[in-house]
Chain A
């Protein structure tokens, strides 16, 4: 458990050996194979496998109650993971998301406490999120400052503003009809009603990223900013709007958080940014940019959420949860790199051994190995 790479490698190579033997064609992957074996599909397999495991072996897990509690818990992370995926694909990062959610929550509390109707309260809070995102966008996209530094700054800034706005107070008397709507479930399925909205947002982000020229531009941007500029992608504009989207969705998460827990406080959603980023990376989005997909990111969030939930159901301390999440993340990020390194090393070693032999024994042997290689 504490040393995953060395433990994982033998299993992995064995498996790959048998698999390749079963599937003879080694050339370019066809459409279906590509989808079935992509990094994010693998995450979906892992998620499904874990859910099946939990349903079979964890007492009380297999029930609609689980679905409800689990989804209610992961919705904020799920929402924020969507714009985060796009932001990370462009090679940037947004660490201020949880603080924007906290600021939104604080603002909601103060406005509602001041006697405004819930409609204007929600709209103003959402606008605050848009503005916060635009501020990030201005600094990162327009002024070209490094996003890591900028959003570490705004992480503290927005959380600080939340404290200024609401102080140590908590506002809790939101309309009961609204708060109970936010925890309501669709019939007996256990699926929270709010999930409909979350799925809509997910579809929007999925379509934008995977089915539009703008989305393809984001991947290009992540691979190489210079190349993206040369092929006519409007880099500044794309990044600016991504941060606006990130701010807006964070505000939605903040509104959800406030109404789900019926408590507006300045410390709401604190620390959520790291959960989201961990889940997105686990979901196969490359921290270096240029790689990733919405379904993978969603699977990453759900996998961490489910592990979280089962550990609590088993009354295992949160300390274990942190260790598990960290280990998973490192394994998922490091394993491919280590594997690449090992392959290169093996390749080099093979060449060191075979080349002198080949020169010594003549042409027949060289052709033989050449044939083998092509197979």
Chain B
């Protein structure tokens, strides 16, 4: 009874607030402690550790890249592999993660930069502390990293698409392109290469590009643009859609229309999205790079840098496990490999 009466005083209320705050902190602290223990494994002397910092966590494409990276890190012989990163892909959000890795003494930092310069000073500090920097997927300013692992050469991506389509339409006829937005850098670069190839390669002399339309990487808009294309050009024989959203929407339209099987469709698509259309015969073949290989090669490049086998100068070669040897090109860029073609035979081997 007596002690309940005391709780009425204001002082005790303060104490309660203090106790509440202290208890909350203790809860947080216990959370940290367990994490701290988990982190110590990477700091051991002599063992190489690697940390991947993607643009953001919880992105399906990134998850595939990171999956390949973790496999690669194990295969390359890293003692500890970590994945840390921000939840939002904002310019400066990666800096504090780089700082934490610098402090942890990580041997190799693999990063997909959200901003080529914002991560610069932090990466310089990490390098000063002895870390090797591998950029992948999205490059930093070249002066802040040792090598950049690039998916594919832009021209290869363009060529494989026109090659696939030419094959499917028998080398002649009207074709159209259904792209993302009108000012998308990647797509416009590929379209430029496709146009150049159509104009210069005698094999494609019979093929004429009649239209370029933009679905803005919006599913509904892409669907309607595909519909419009086929109404406007009744003799259209094929469509190239160099964007994963566009190709999926176009395939969905074709599969439910009577153009199914008569109008060819190819481009860049995700196997998981395209699987039903390949199985039902709407699409014969399409292309994309294998994102897992990107992470895989990045891990091996990191290992070679940490071992001192390579320094990131042009002409250096290193072993990339199952993928064979890779060479460092101009500006420290390593190309993972040609785009992969997906068709009914191999599509079930991929899950992304």
Contacts and interface: CB of A to CB of B under 8 A. Distances in A.
Interface in B1-54: 1-25, 27-29, 31-33, 35-36, 38-40, 43
Interface string A125-168: 00000000000000000000000000000000000000000000
Contact of B118 (A19, A263, A307): A263
A43 B3 CA distance: 26
A85 interface: no
Contacts, number: 224
A192 B87 CA distance: 27
A331 B118 contact: no
A318 B32 contact: no
Interface in A264-320: 265, 267-268, 270-271, 303, 307-320
Contact of B8 (A4, A315, A347): A347
A270 B90 CA distance: 8
B39 A314 contact: yes
A149 B85 CA distance: 33
B57 interface: yes
Interface stretch (A45-53, A194-202, A206-214, A223-231): A45-53
B261 interface: no
A141 B12 CA distance: 38
Contact of A309 (B21, B36, B57, B96): B96
Nearest to B120: A262
A8 B19 contact: yes
Interface string B82-104: 10111110111001110110111
B24 A332 contact: yes
Nearest to B29: A53
Interface in B57-115: 57, 82, 84-88, 90-92, 95-97, 99-100, 102-104, 115
Contacts of A268: 90-92
Contacts of A60: 43, 103-104
Contact of A317 (B39, B40, B57): B57
Contact of A8 (B20, B28, B31): B20
B67 to A, nearest CB: 17
Interface in A317-374: 317-320, 322, 324, 327-328, 331-332, 335-336, 339-340, 343, 346-347, 350, 372-373
Contacts of B17: 39, 42, 332, 335-336, 339
A16 interface: yes
B117 interface: yes
B31 A316 contact: yes
Contact of A38 (B4, B14, B22, B86): B14
Contact of A261 (B19, B29, B92): B92
| A interface secondary structure, majority | helix
Nearest to A29: B11
A37 interface: yes
A265 B6 CA distance: 56
Given A42-B18, A257-B92, A307 B103 contact: no
Interface in A3-22: 4, 7-8, 11-13, 15-17, 19-20
Interface stretch (A65-73, A112-120, A232-240, A243-251): A65-73
B43 to A, nearest CB: 7
Nearest to B121: A183
Contacts of A193: none
A33 B11 contact: yes
B39 A315 contact: yes
A57 B28 contact: no
B116 interface: yes
Contacts of B28: 50, 307, 324, 328
A4 B16 CA distance: 13
A28 to B, nearest CB: 9
14 contacts: A1-B27, A8-B19, A11-B23, A13-B7, A15-B15, A26-B6, A172-B118, A262-B118, A303-B25, A314-B36, A315-B82, A317-B84, A332-B20, A346-B7
3 nearest CB pairs, A to B: A314-B35, A172-B117, A16-B12
Interface of A: 1, 4, 7-8, 11-13, 15-17, 19-20, 23, 26, 29, 33, 37-39, 42-43, 45-46, 49-50, 53-54, 57-60, 63, 65-66, 69, 73, 170, 172, 179-180, 183, 257, 260-263, 265, 267-268, 270-271, 303, 307-320, 322, 324, 327-328, 331-332, 335-336, 339-340, 343, 346-347, 350, 372-373
